[in-house]
Structure 1
Amino acid sequence: MNYKIREMQKGDWKSVSEIYQQGMDTNLATFQTECPTNEEFDQSHIKQCRFVITDGDVIAGWAALTPVSSRCVYRGVAEVSIYIHDTHRGKGAGNQLLNFLSKQSEKDGIWTLQSGIMADNKASIRLHEKCGFRQVGFRERIGQDRFGQWRNTVLMERRSNLI
């Protein structure tokens, strides 16, 4: 695949939200049960470091960062959201996008990236490991999925070598 990465634009929301819904439908990606509105997404995610990966004119995935705290001492720590369209999973899009996001986040002063991943989402755990993340924790029965089942997550982290 000949993927290209660019900044997410407001006009991308339809594709971004459809890919997010696909992730929710797997019951492996998030505890969210409803896709946020574009406005909610915009308010909750850091303004920089929002990217889409494209295959031609088609958005194959997206990634964005959320602050982990409003306290100034944690301004360089962010949580990763990365979602790949189901037709592009396993084809390198996630690897390219997560590596790009990691490098760009360092340019924007982020020294720690973290991801809370459902413990049974082996593909996402492998992706994060390939991109330099390591498991730093395990959270047992941290939240209920959309079917009311308690789920475990692993906490993965990537620390910058530059900052």
Structure 2
Amino acid sequence: MVIIRSALPSDALAITEIYNQGIQTRRATFETSLYTVENRRKWIVEQEEHYPILVAVLDELVVGFACVHPYRSRDCYRGIGEFSIYIRDGYKGRGIGKHLLHSLVEACAKRGYWKLVSRIFDFNHASRALCRACGFREVGIYEKHSKLDGEWLDCVIVEKLIIENLD
């Protein structure tokens, strides 16, 4: 059974391993420089309570994480979060992402968010399917959003309204 909980500084190694897998596969992020454990530990410690970082734990191993970052710096956007989700290689396709993303939406709802958004490479069909399964809708495409390894890539924009916070 998968346990979802808030990330701890001691999860930095696992989060670093998982994120670096995403960098190396070139399927989930424009980032090309590998992260360090110290960098991720500092990020976990310094992350405001308003921006949750959750981990999925299976048999005492962190197998995935999801997090929210500020969407924009202006106060009027404080209720919108930009999210990311990463699952450890070998654990994809087991429903862990769905459990983790639902939990992230719940955590954000409790913090007053009214919308979550993200950008997904257009060819990342698994992430797009995960977002659809969790109630996100695709609202557009950023064409030639940036280059990765010298190739222009398009990103699909997804969003989910958190209805209970839209009063």
State the alpha-carbon separation in 2 of the partners of residues 4 and 29 from structure 1: 24
Give me the TM-score of the superposition, normalised by structure 1. Answer: 0.93
Residue 64 (structure 1) aligned to one of 41, 63, 67: 67
**Partner residue, 2:95:** 92
State the alpha-carbon separation in 2 of the partners of residues 105 and 28 from structure 1: 26
What displacement does 1:135 show?
0.4
**Partner residue, 2:29:** 30
Secondary structure (helix, strand or coil) at the match of 1:25 reads helix
Q: Is the 8 A contact 2:12 2:41 kept in 1?
A: no
Give me the TM-score of the superposition, normalised by structure 2. Answer: 0.91
Secondary structure (helix, strand or coil) at the match of 1:162 reads helix
Runs (4+) of structure 1 moved beyond 6 Å?
none
**Partner residue, 1:162:** 164
State the alpha-carbon separation in 1 of the partners of residues 127 and 55 from structure 2: 17
State the alpha-carbon separation in 1 of the partners of residues 82 and 97 from structure 2: 16
Secondary structure (helix, strand or coil) at the match of 2:3 reads strand
Cα offsets for 1:6-53 (capped at 9, x unmatched): 110011000001000111112110000123422663488554411100
**Partner residue, 1:17:** 16
Higher mean C-alpha displacement, 37-46 vs 47-56 = 37-46
Cα offsets for 1:86-144 (capped at 9, x unmatched): 11100010000000100110100111100100000000000000000000110110101
- What 5-or-longer segments of structure 1 have no aligned partner? none
Inter-CA distance 51–58: structure 2 relative to 1 (3 Å threshold)? same
**Partner residue, 1:108:** 111
State the alpha-carbon separation in 1 of the partners of residues 48 and 134 from structure 2: 21
Cα offsets for 1:36-95 (capped at 9, x unmatched): 422663488554411100002100100100001111000000111100001110001000
Inter-CA distance 46–87: structure 2 relative to 1 (3 Å threshold)? farther
- AA partner of residue 32 (structure 1): E
State the alpha-carbon separation in 2 of the partners of residues 135 and 45 from structure 1: 28
What displacement does 1:161 show?
1.1
Q: What is the count of residue pairs matched by the alignment?
A: 161
Inter-CA distance 59–102: structure 2 relative to 1 (3 Å threshold)? same
- What 5-or-longer segments of structure 2 have no aligned partner? none
Q: Is the 8 A contact 2:10 2:41 kept in 1?
A: no
**Partner residue, 2:141:** 138
1:73 aligns with 2:76: yes
